[in-house]
Amino acid sequence: EAGVAQSPRYKIIEKRQSVAFWCNPISGHATLYWYQQILGQGPKLLIQFQNNGVVDDSQLPKDRFSAERLKGVDSTLKIQPAKLEDSAVYLCASSLAGTRRGTDTQYFGPGTRLTVL
């Protein structure tokens, strides 16, 4: 079974530029998550989708970050314009049952390492 796919793996941009990350979850997984992991910290949720609806985007900086999951499968996370503090690893995860079960395991992709200069 293929895991969570993410691209690109690395991205370097100047501040105020825009950038987009792509994620394809494990086949059949209803729930998709985007996490931001700043160096030396644990990941923090940016947004959670259940199929193509948003469950939680309370920690998404909506003035510059946006995300979509139009057909309930793959997802795109965009930053526009980027700031220096956005330098981090952006992790995508997916899970089968989503919000219904606390036991539902989230499986992570390899991440995209973003550097903003």
Partner 1 sequence: AQKITQTQPGMFVQEKEAVTLDCTYDTSDPSYGLFWYKQPSSGEMIFLIYQGSYDQQNATEGRYSLNFQKARKSANLVISASQLGDSAMYFCAMRERIPGGTSYGKLTFGQGTILTVHP
Q: Under the rule (CB under 8 A), what is the footprint of partner 1?
A: 33, 40-45, 48, 55-56, 89, 91, 93, 98-111, 113
Calculate the alpha carbon distances from 116 to 26, 46, 94, 112 in Å. 29, 18, 26, 13
Nearer to partner 1, 22 or 107 (CB): 107
Nearer to partner 1, 5 or 20 (CB): 5
Nearer to partner 1, 25 or 98 (CB): 98
User: Could you give the CA distance from residue 46 to residue 36 in angstroms, rounded to a whole number?
Assistant: 7
CB of 31 to partner 1, least distance (A): 10
Please, are residues 78 and 10 in contact by the beta-carbon 8 Å criterion? Answer: no
CB of 28 to partner 1, least distance (A): 17
Nearer to partner 1, 19 or 106 (CB): 106
HSE on the CB side for 12, CA within 13 Å? 1
Residue 56 is inside which H or E element, if any?
strand 53-56
